[in-house]
């Protein structure tokens, strides 16, 4: 490729195909629109091409191909119309490939891009990448080519690039070519010092102050051992360069950081021959930041920008100064880094104590100094009490202490909350007080989700086996039909007086869940509600008079156990040695999943469904209708439920994210450990009473844009990354040795099945009253409900 100067034009310039090269490129649908305006390219035709010939070429060209109109000097190229969901919709990579294949080495080359106005920047930048600044081919270095890039817009015929548009494209193209040059140049030429020269050149070109450069031993002195440790064996020592642009009156601050290794061999973890090829591109991070900084400064005058480029030389194990396996060094963020080694305890303790002394922050205090006021507020606001404290503080404090019946540490940070789930960190408990679980409410049986140690593992294994057996013998498709029949039992037709159906919706979740797991619908809704509500009061310790109600709790427990024993599944356990424990585990797993998980989410789902935009609801209903037509059969039902309803799955995940049924996880610190948050690191001492605030973690505005709203275009991976509703991170597998709920997938499937059927019903919602109480849920008032 010859040396090229690139210019962008706001108009179609005159050219002669006999002397100049012309490539007209665009998607097929855009080229078809060009047929009506073929004369717009008349300045390019000379005396050898006409508009009719161009129209014929457009009719014959197909995606990923080209047609020559005058030898190879005038070419029409067609980009593909379809792209994978991971690719840019404008397909800039296709433009680069097609134009490169059809370029002629004429002194003047025109590239005419046919497309929409919104695609001008992406496609204009893609064209510039075809002409690299770095080239060591001697025969091509002699040639000089002037490249003019022009645009024909099909969606706005009168639109032309403004002077600012041309300036922006030119600056961006120069910066892209600079970044590419740094990546393309081999590391014997583009080493650390050569890259620093490029940074100085950019600063001079932009009339900025000389960059701050920290190199070699100064990195160690400033505590940047991570940068120094990787490249210290190189001839050109590693460096950190900081470029700053600080215009007066700047209204916004931006900081970028890019890492680059001029050739990443792997160092101590040396790469094999296949993976080492192409590692020159590992310096692209720093090169990209430098190019972006240059382009941004040229285009944005009211923004303060800082770019940091970390340049490290080749990972090497050779040399007089080398990285020894087992070396420990301290990085700038005060994280101890162990180099490919298993350290002895005394080494680990030494370095942990080193950074603890310097970086551990004191846990702040929130709430009232009077514990009684905090307890009263918690009783009134329930699980949203802690979220309201965090929100009032603008999420600046996500780990804090609060005085309750005793001091608790609340963890609301979406990263730090992960420390609440490893068994090595936490001893599970039912509350933050000295009161443990009320034996009378469960006949002395501690369910697995509140137990610890070997007894927990045994109970969890029982739970898993019971669930597996029922899913295999009864199956979700049968439950799907059950939910449909239970919904038909609700009939409301009252235009003048709205009817509250919240309890009827709750009963559907309980009936469907108990039928699946126990083989029999619950026959006493009031009994269930009283028992579950009473057990909640004891567990959350919101009932200070529990001791005077022992007889009532004992009676409720006896009645519930009698119901469990009457079910077909429990009767199959009569000949087992562990009958009593299995019955209790069945009772707690079934009832807590039905009420604590699914019942509340059913009502929440209806609330958020009613608040969707009309277009969003129509898209969901269309997806559900297609599912019912094509995939509603017993074979592969679970697979289809999970794979064929992506939009509905997103909606359900958003509902649970916003209103998690298990909003609080409690426990005691089993050992000393450190939690890392976006605000700093905090020391948790052994014996500390801890509480995970799931609501705040899943509504964190830093992790979720418009965190308090249902967004169907939110990336699923991000939602799952900070999703903790079912006793652990979403991707954590429930095992017998952890406290992750086995019912995560089952609960999500239940909500989807419920919504599929409710969309087939005739429903007119009058109002849905949101409550901050997890046991209260929502009042759902309707004037019509018929399935």
CATH of domain 363-786: 1.10.630.10
Separation CA 212–CA 241 (nearest Å) = 6
Separation CA 472–CA 470 (nearest Å) = 5
Q: What is the pLDDT of residue 311?
A: 52
327 confidence band (pLDDT: 50, 70, 90) = very low
Q: What is the pLDDT of residue 401?
A: 94
Structural element, H or E, at residue 492: strand 492-493
Of the ranges 289-298, 516-525, 689-698, which one carries the lowest mean pLDDT score? 516-525
Q: What does pTM read for this prediction?
A: 0.58
Separation CA 725–CA 123 (nearest Å) = 43
pLDDT at 32 exceeding the cut of 80: yes
Strands 3-8 and 74-79: unpaired
pLDDT at 771 exceeding the cut of 70: no
The burial of 548, by beta-carbon neighbours within 10 Å (0-12 exposed, 13-18 middle, 19 or more buried), is given as exposed
Cβ atoms within 10 Å, residue 330: 19
CATH of domain 3-161: 3.40.50.10590
656 confidence band (pLDDT: 50, 70, 90) = very high
pLDDT in tens, 366-395: 999 998 898 888 878 877 889 999 999 888
Is the pLDDT higher at 473 or at 233?
A: 473
Q: How far, in whole angstroms, is CA 675 from its chain's centroid?
A: 21
Q: Which of 467, 657, 443, 666 minimizes the C-alpha distance to 555? A: 443
pLDDT at 438 exceeding the cut of 50: no
Question: What residue spans define the domains of the chain?
Answer: 3-161, 182-303+327-340, 363-786
| Cα-based angle 463, 469, 473 (whole degrees, multiple of 5) | 150
Is the pLDDT higher at 494 or at 433?
A: 494
At 306, list the tokens: 């800082």
pLDDT in tens, 147-179: 999 999 998 888 899 999 999 999 999 999 999
Q: Domain 182-303+327-340 - what CATH class?
A: alpha beta
Is the pLDDT higher at 79 or at 531?
A: 79
Collapsed DSSP state (helix, strand, coil) of residue 319:
coil
pLDDT at 545 exceeding the cut of 50: no
Q: What is the pLDDT of residue 443?
A: 55
What's the whole-number average pLDDT of the chain?
81
Separation CA 57–CA 31 (nearest Å) = 10
Of the ranges 284-288, 389-393, 506-510, which one carries the lowest mean pLDDT score? 506-510
Q: What is the pLDDT of residue 527?
A: 67
At 249, list the tokens: 């009156």
């Amino acid at each position: 490729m010859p040396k090229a100067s690139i210019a962008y034009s706001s108009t179609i310039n005159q050219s002669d195909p006999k002397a100049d090269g012309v490539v007209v490129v665009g998607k097929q649908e855009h080229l078809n629109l060009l047929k009506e305006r073929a004369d717009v390219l008349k300045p390019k035709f000379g005396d050898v091409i006409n508009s009719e010939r161009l129209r014929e070429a457009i009719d014959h060209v197909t995606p990923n191909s080209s047609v020559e109109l005058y030898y190879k000097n005038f070419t029409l190229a067609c980009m593909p119309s379809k792209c994978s969901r991971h690719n840019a919709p404008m397909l800039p990579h296709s433009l680069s490939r097609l134009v490169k294949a059809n370029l002629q080495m004429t002194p003047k080359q025109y590239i005419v891009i046919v497309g929409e106005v919104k695609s001008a920047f992406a496609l204009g930048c893609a064209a510039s990448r075809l002409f690299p600044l770095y080239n060591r081919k001697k025969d091509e270095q002699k040639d000089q080519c002037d490249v003019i890039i022009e645009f024909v817009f099909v969606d706005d015929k009168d639109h032309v690039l403004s002077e600012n548009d041309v300036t922006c494209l030119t600056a961006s193209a120069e910066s892209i070519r600079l970044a590419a040059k740094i990546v393309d140049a081999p590391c014997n030429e583009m080493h650390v010092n050569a890259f620093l020269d490029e940074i100085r050149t950019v600063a001079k070109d932009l009339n900025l102050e000389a960059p701050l450069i920290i190199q070699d031993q100064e990195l160690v002195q400033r505590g940047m051992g991570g940068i120094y440790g990787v490249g210290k064996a190189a001839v050109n020592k590693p460096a950190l360069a900081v470029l700053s642009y600080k215009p007066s009156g700047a209204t916004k601050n931006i900081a970028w950081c890019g890492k680059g290794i001029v050739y990443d061999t792997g160092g101590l973890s040396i790469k094999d021959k296949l993976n080492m090829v192409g590692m020159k591109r590992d310096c692209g991070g720093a090169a990209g930041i430098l190019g972006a900084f240059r382009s941004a400064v040229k285009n944005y005058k009211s923004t303060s920008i800082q770019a940091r480029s970390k340049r490290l030389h080749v990972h090497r194990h050779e040399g007089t100064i080398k990285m020894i396996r087992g070396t420990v060094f301290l990085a700038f963020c005060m994280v101890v880094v162990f180099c490919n080694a298993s350290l002895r305890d005394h080494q680990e303790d030494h370095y942990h104590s080193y950074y603890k002394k310097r970086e551990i922050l004191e846990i702040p205090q929130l709430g009232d100094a009077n514990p009684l006021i905090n307890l009263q507020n918690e009783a009134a606001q329930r699980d949203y009490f802690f979220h309201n404290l965090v929100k009032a503080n603008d999420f600046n404090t996500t780990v804090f202490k609060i005085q309750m019946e005793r001091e608790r540490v609340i963890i609301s940070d979406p990263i730090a909350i992960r420390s609440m789930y490893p068994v090595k960190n936490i001893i599970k408990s039912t509350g933050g007080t000295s009161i443990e679980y009320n034996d009378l409410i469960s006949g002395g049986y501690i369910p697995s989700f509140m137990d610890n140690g070997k007894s927990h593992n045994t109970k969890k294994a029982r739970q898993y086996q019971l669930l597996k057996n029922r899913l295999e013998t009864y199956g979700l498709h049968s439950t799907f039909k059950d939910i449909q029949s239970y919904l038909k039992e609700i009939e409301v037709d009252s235009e003048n007086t709205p009817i509250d159906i919240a309890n009827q919706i709750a009963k559907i979740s309980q009936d469907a869940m108990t039928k699946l797991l126990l083989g029999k619908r619950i026959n006493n809704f009031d009994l269930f509600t009283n028992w579950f509500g009473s057990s909640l009061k004891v567990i959350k310790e919101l009932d200070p008079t529990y001791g005077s109600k022992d007889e009532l709790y004992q009676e409720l427990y006896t009645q519930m156990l009698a119901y469990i024993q009457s079910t077909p599944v429990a009767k199959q356990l009569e000949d087992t040695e562990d009958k009593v424990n299995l019955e209790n585990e069945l009772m707690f797993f079934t009832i807590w999943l039905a009420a604590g998980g699914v019942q509340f989410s059913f009502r929440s789902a209806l609330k958020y469904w009613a608040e969707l935009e009309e277009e969003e609801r129509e898209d969901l209903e269309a997806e559900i209708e297609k599912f019912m037509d094509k995939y509603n059969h017993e074979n592969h039902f679970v697979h289809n439920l999970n794979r064929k309803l992506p939009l509905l799955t997103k909606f359900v995940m958003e509902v649970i994210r916003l209103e998690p049924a298990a909003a609080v996880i409690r426990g005691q610190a089993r050992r000393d450990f450190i939690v890392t948050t976006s605000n700093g690191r905090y020391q948790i001492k052994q014996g500390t009473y801890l509480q995970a605030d799931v609501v705040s973690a899943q509504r964190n505005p830093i992790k979720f844009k418009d965190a308090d709203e249902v967004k169907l275009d939110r990336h699923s991976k991000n939602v799952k990354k900070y999703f903790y509703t079912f006793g652990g991170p979403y991707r954590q597998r429930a095992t017998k040795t952890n406290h992750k709920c086995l019912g995560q997938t089952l609960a999500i499937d239940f909500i989807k099945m419920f919504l599929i059927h409710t969309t087939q019903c005739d429903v007119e919602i009058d109002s849905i009253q949101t409550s901050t109480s997890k046991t209260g849920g929502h009042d759902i008032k309707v004037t019509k409900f018929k399935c």
